[in-house]
Chain A
Amino acid sequence: MKSARVAFEGGIYKATELSEGIQLDNGRQVAEEEVVWLPPIEPQTSFALGLNYSDHASELSFKAPEEPLVFLKGPNTFVGHRGKTYRPSDVTHMHYECELAVVIGREAKNVKKEEAYSYITGYTIANDYAIRDYLENYYRPNLRVKNRDHCTPIGPWLVDAAEIQDPMNLALRTYVNGELVQEGSTKDMIFDIPELIEYLSSFMTLSPGDLILTGTPKGTVDTKVGDEVITEIEGLGRLVNTITGEPS
């Protein structure tokens, strides 16, 4: 089962996928372009991983971390499918990051990795944009790089955990204006999903709606105003975003 949150004619609905178009939870069937796509969940505590694919770590000249490199994001940073993300005019390097996003379904504290999957309600796609010009070496990556308004597109669908047989073996791809620019597999994560849940829940309580963005593989290049960036994960769909020069 895949579900989305959309706005249509002034109301907010849950939506499901049809072979053509989508169905709102009041029964109406509409085209996907007729609705405004919201993030498929309202994210609670939102974690993101830095340098969690060894090829991306070496691309950035970092050695792979010995402990997960975790940072937090606020609710302002999320934007739905077909949304727009602002690139300030003075920026020289703003890149996408295609990431598998894990949604927690029940309270988790001191969870062992063998049981970790039972705490997951579903998966979605996140594009964790970074503006490298704003990196500073304090609590790096700092919020000015990673928590800008609408800099984290997410969606389109929340896909039930039961539908994804092996989340540690999914292809990730990013296309800019139709051209394939990033390709990897979740099997190359340094800390896999069960290890991340074990790690985080070892020192804090996770709650339903908490979100873990699991990092991105190699292949991050600069994007420009007007670029259409599609991040795609096998079995989860395609998340479309456009870079804009207009502040959100």
Chain B
Amino acid sequence: MPKAKAKFSGRLQMQEIDVYLKEGTVQWNGRVDSTEHTWDSPVSCTIYGTLLNYQGALDQMEEALHQDPYKSPPKAPILYIKPKNTITGNQTVIPMPEEVSELEVGACLGLVIGEKASRVSEDEAMSYIAGYTIVNDISVPHDSVFRPAVKHKARDGFCPAGPWIMERDEVPAPDNLTIRVYVNGECKQENHTGNLVRSVAQLLSDVTEFMTLEKGDTLLVGIPENPPRVKDGDQIRIEIEQIGALENKVKKEAAVGGVKS
């Protein structure tokens, strides 16, 4: 059975589990587990996102890429950070700020780094990956990508990740995975990591040329074009082939609580 690492809520350490993707169950300590668990994010270090790394997303901007304020298409990978306040686990609620009516779903394959990666070649890149997880890189919709989008991307609870880290060797071809996003059970987006501008290995190589990724960091390979929009009360399910499914619900911030005024 595919091996993965998860973090059940209420426990300090991570658990090594077997994942039965078809049945939607996991086995831990030899026992098939019903879904009694709640899940913490299996990643806790720095999460880096990559802008415009799906060919379709880049193509949609084709004309704009040559005009102000962008002037020319991107050369090196354009990254951003999802800070710690954004990170939550599977089945958590995504708080929707009071002043917006829709959020954008960012269905990302996350590469979880297994050892310090600095200036790694494309050939060696895969050996620096510990495994793969699913990340929902939520944004307040914004058209311009000229300035950093901290206000749009770094809000509390805007980065559910999980449910687990599927071990690297269970996913032999990460550039050949179908990604589907369901909103309230209806498929709203389908794409494929074969459409990446920079493949998994090339992205790792190009990123670590200018900055080091530490063990435990996660690099998101990008958001596919036409990300679905979601509203208060919507249930989101992101499925990535061979890895699993990440589910979260959107609720107005005031209803989630924990927001001081």
The residues of A with any CB-CB pair to B shorter than 8 Å are 44-45, 47, 69-77, 109-110, 134, 136-144, 147-149, 203-207, 247
Contact = CB atoms under 8 A, between A and B. Distances in A.
Given A47-B150, A137-B71, A138-B145, A247 B76 contact: no
18 contacts: A45-B83, A47-B150, A71-B150, A72-B150, A72-B154, A109-B259, A136-B75, A136-B78, A137-B70, A137-B71, A139-B148, A143-B48, A144-B210, A149-B211, A149-B212, A203-B155, A204-B86, A204-B156
Interface of B: 46, 48, 51-52, 69-72, 74-81, 83-86, 97, 118-119, 145-151, 154-156, 210-214, 217, 259-261
Given A136-B74, A137-B71, A138-B74, A70 B150 contact: yes
Contacts of B48: 74, 143
Contacts of B154: 72, 203-204
Contacts of B155: 203-204
B51 A136 contact: no
Among A44, A110, A147, A247, which residue has the most Cβ atoms of chain B within 10 A?
A147
Contact of A143 (B52, B83, B156, B211): B211
A204 B153 CA distance: 10
Contact of B81 (A73, A138, A148): A73
A140 B247 CA distance: 32
A45 B153 CA distance: 14
Contact of B146 (A45, A137, A206, A207): A137
B216 to A, nearest CB: 11
Given A76-B212, A247-B119, A138 B146 contact: yes
Given A138-B146, A144-B79, A148-B211, 15 more contacts: A45-B84, A70-B151, A72-B80, A72-B150, A74-B48, A75-B214, A110-B260, A134-B210, A139-B51, A139-B80, A143-B78, A143-B79, A149-B211, A204-B83, A205-B156
Contacts of B149: 139
A148 B79 CA distance: 12
A76 B85 contact: no
| Majority secondary structure of chain B interface residues (helix, strand, loop or mixed) | loop
Contacts of B71: 137
Contacts of B217: 74
Contacts of A76: 211-214
A72 B148 contact: yes
A69 B147 contact: yes
A140 B69 CA distance: 10
A247 B119 CA distance: 10
A245 B100 CA distance: 48
B97 A72 contact: no
Contacts of B259: 109-110
B213 to A, nearest CB: 8
Contact of A137 (B69, B84, B214): B69
A69 B74 CA distance: 20
Contacts of B147: 69, 139-140
A199 to B, nearest CB: 9
Contact of A134 (B76, B86, B213): B76
B245 to A, nearest CB: 27
Given A47-B150, A138-B52, A149-B211, A109 B260 contact: yes
B81 A144 contact: no
Given A70-B150, A72-B154, A139-B148, A77 B84 contact: no
A73 B81 CA distance: 7
Nearest to A88: B210
A143 B78 CA distance: 7
A203 B151 contact: yes
Contact of A44 (B72, B84, B212): B84
Contact of A204 (B52, B79, B81, B85): B85
Given A138-B74, A203-B151, A74 B211 contact: yes
A76 B78 CA distance: 17
Contacts of B148: 69-72, 139-141
Contact of A148 (B46, B74, B84, B210): B210
Nearest to A206: B85
Contacts of A141: 148
Contacts of A134: 76, 210
A142 B150 CA distance: 12
A134 B76 CA distance: 9
A141 B148 CA distance: 7
A69 B151 CA distance: 10
B43 to A, nearest CB: 14
